[in-house]
Amino acid sequence: MNKPFSIDQNATLEDPTSVPVVLGIGGTLRPGSSSEVALRHALKAAAAQGAVTEIITAAELNFPAYDPETADSVEAAQRLIEAARRADCVIIATPGYHGGMSGMLKNAIDYLQGQAADPQPYLHHKAVGCIVSAAGWQAGVTTLASLRATVHSLRGWPTPLGVVINSTTKPFGPAGEVLDAKVGEQLAMLGSEVTTFAKARVKHFA
């Protein structure tokens, strides 16, 4: 019988082999996109809490349209699958396009079907932080709900906090620095939440 999760926000991991791994996925093909910048800030916060972080941006997610008959032959997608397997928790950042996540990101996530036969398939037992950047609040909130539903379908646990960024308010500067303190606080909190769950997961499966 599996032992229940025990969450200790002050937990430390003295064994270097037990350091939690947090994977960031997302962004757009446009360099310096607000969704990718937000993802990097959240991962920075996770690293500050003791996690090892990895990022796979949109430039590495431009896979062929998902086809279960040929998916195993898409080498770039295998990197995503292996990274998802290694990760203790995940942060996903997407632009909001017409009420949903970007087609590129949804297509990439579909490739996680390659984990269907794993003992812990998909995002099972993994907390997932969700970030949406959109040109308006309505589009952002609708997309966040859609992203959370996708995470649930992959057996992941969306973190209590999901971050919606209104890109029209220009929350980031030209070098990616945070100009909107509230946005910075929310991204830091999301990174911290994900790392707290990641530490609990590492301890649980140790």
- The residue with greater pLDDT, 4 or 37, is 37
Chain centroid to CA 164? 14
pLDDT digits (tens, 9 = 90+) for 45-94: 999 999 999 999 999 999 999 999 999 999 999 999 999 999 999 999 99
Domains of the chain, earliest start first = 19-62+74-205 (3.40.50.360)
Element (H, E) at 91: strand 89-95
Q: Which two tokens stand for residue 138?
A: 């309505």
Q: What is the pLDDT of residues 117-144, one digit of tens each?
A: 999 999 999 999 999 999 999 999 999 9
Residue 78: exposure state from Cβ atoms within 10 A (0-12, 13-18, ≥19): middle
What crossing angle do the helices spanning 181-205 and 34-48 adopt, rounded to 10°? Answer: 50
- The pTM of this model reads 0.90
Q: What percent of the chain has pLDDT over 90?
A: 84
**pLDDT attached to residue 9:** 41
Q: What is the pLDDT of residues 24-59, one digit of tens each?
A: 999 999 988 999 999 999 999 999 999 999 999 999
